[in-house]
Structure 1
Amino acid sequence: MGSSQSSGSTSGNNESSAAGPSTSLPQVLPVPLEILEEIFLHLPPHQVVGVCRSVCRQWREVSDSESLWRERCRREGYRPRDPSKMTKDWRLFYFLCKKRRNLLKNPKAEHGMTDWRIVENGGDGWCFGELRRPHPNETVQKDFVTSYGMCRKSQLIDLKVEGYNPSFMDRFQPEIRIYDWYSPRCDCGSKYELRVELLNHKKQSLQTFAPETVYFEQWTDEKWTQITHVFQDYGPGVRYIHFIHGGKDTQFWAGRYGVRVTDSCVEINPAMDS
């Protein structure tokens, strides 16, 4: 009887062993790194980070590799101004280039005065409306209009909230580009002002762009003019950008005959232009 039990036990183990492989999950076969990297280069970047990276150790290493993101930058034309600073930061550099955008909200008056802080509201105050003259940018259909007393409005951009962490800003000091569009009325004199400040964590000014006030005489050609500026090599510590602009009419006419502004922009540009 003992012999019979021993035989049964051995038979059971063999059956269990035979059944094991049929119920186990197939293993991910290793793929040469250069082939895997080429596959990842043809996938959407967020899929590489969000999905591929979690599959296995090998895929995670390729997803995090400097060579993958450096090659991705090369293929998409993103070139750093100082490649010596890019060691192990190519993925961060790539995504910040991809997210380049206007950091000002509601720059074209499409949502009225929403997102703007009114600093001064002189005369009959700020308003917004349809363009008097077509803008060079066909997507611009509205503008902000000033009155006979000084009108200023502003936005404070928190760079960390917008995805630009302090270490990135301090180390790379990417270009900060600003521009603004303004236009007078032809039948009334007016003036235009702009001030853009780079601020530290205490909101103290580190660097300022404040060009001379622009004055328009009555019967000036009613055209749109763009003013631009690029902050470079501004040093560490920049955490906020304060954008302020406005103006007024210079003949004190009731209503809103002052300078008009629209399509303002502040953007972070980590890469060299092609």
Structure 2
Amino acid sequence: MSAAEWKKRCKAEWGLHGVPMPDGVDWKSVYEAKPLGRNLLKNPAPLGLSKNIPPPEIELERRPPPPHFQPDGDYAGWTTSTEVLPFDTSGIPEGVEICALPEYSWFTLEQVVDLKTEGLWDELLDPYEESQIDDSIYHLHVKLLASDKSTVISEYNASPTKDQSTQSHTWTEVSHVFSGYGPGVRYVHFQHRLKNNFLNFFFTTRFTGSSVTVRPVKSSLKESS
């Protein structure tokens, strides 16, 4: 097909009426990339869980496993890091013999989405911006970055809380739509921070269904986590 035909196909199939569609864009490549409405995050469920199934029960082993601070999973596509937190002895009276203390850590997963590499074009990102960020738990940090990857144009942080004394068997949903942020966005920095606890057994925050999508109009689409 000709360039004009690819442009017409993109406009018709994605409902891009009133959206800037300059002739200088390679519409065949844009169509094949299908950037609108597609999850732009790689490997959105590295723990192998599904939002359609309740979080798994905690499995207690007869012999405690050795201390570890990273949940088991496939983290391809994510940059990960671990911050082991110091022991908190503030509430222990002086002279009390300590047998064991829980060890806590933050496990961080993040990735940067290059919006132009994913098939989006300048005229959509700048004067006609309207993107939707779907996300997950425990601490969530999402930033819209300029082309230098350091200038933050807009950001969103979420720290949902739960009663940790019982296991709820349900997911907590977190979602956010960025709008009205102006021109210049070229990257999305997406970060999870998971709180882990180890004392004879390993307890970790779980998440699934991470998603970053871009849409030319507002949507009610949400993901669970």
TM-score range, shorter chain: 0.5 to 0.7
Which runs of no fewer than 5 residues in structure 2 stay unpaired? Answer: 49-72, 86-102, 221-225
Q: 1:234 offset after TM fit, Å?
A: 1.1
Change (3 A) 1:122 1:107: farther
Alignment correspondent of 2:88: none
Change (3 A) 1:181 1:168: closer
Residue 107 of structure 1 is matched in structure 2 by 44
1:226 Cα deviation from its structure 2 partner = 1.8
| 1:180 correspondence with 2:127 | no
Q: What's the TM-score, normalizing by structure 1?
A: 0.53
CA–CA distance in 1 between the matches of 2:201 and 2:109?
18
Work out the CA distance in 1 between the residues paired with 2:41 and 2:134: 11
1:206 positional shift: 1.1
1:215–1:253: structure 2 CA closer, same or farther, 3 Å change rule? farther
Task: Tell me the alpha carbon deviations over residues 176-210 of structure 1, each in whole angstroms, 9 at most, x when there is no partner.
Answer: 2222344xxxxxxxxx2101000112222111100
Partner of 2:107: 151
Preserved contact between residue 136 and residue 173 of structure 2 (Cα < 8 Å)? yes
What is residue 176 of structure 2 aligned with on the other side? 229
The 8 Å contact of residues 169 and 236 in structure 1, kept in 2 or not, is answered as: yes
Q: SS of the counterpart of 1:210?
A: strand
Aligned residue among 77, 91, 95 for 2:31 = 95
Identify if the C-alpha distance between structure 1 residues 194 and 150 changes in structure 2 by more than 3 Å, giving closer, same or farther.
Answer: same
Q: Which has the higher contact order (CA 8 A, sep 6+)?
A: 2
In structure 2, the partner of 1:242 is: 189
CA contact (8 A) 2:35 2:120 kept: no
Cα pair 2:141 2:191 within 8 Å, conserved: yes
The structure whose Rg is larger is: 1
Q: Which residue of 2 aligns with 1:117?
A: 79
Matching residue's letter, 2:148: K
TM-score (norm 2): 0.63
2:139 is aligned to: 193
- Is the 8 Å Cα contact of residues 136 and 192 (structure 2) preserved in structure 1? no
Gaps of 5+ in 1: 1-47, 54-62, 124-146, 183-191
Q: What is the aligned residue count?
A: 175
Residues 162, 247 of structure 1: alpha-carbon distance in 2 compared, 3 angstrom cutoff: same
Contact 2:147 2:186 (C-alpha < 8 Å) held by counterparts: yes
Aligned partner of 2:105: which letter? G
Please name the residue that 2:208 is paired with.
Answer: 262
What value does the CA root-mean-square deviation take over the aligned residues? 3.4
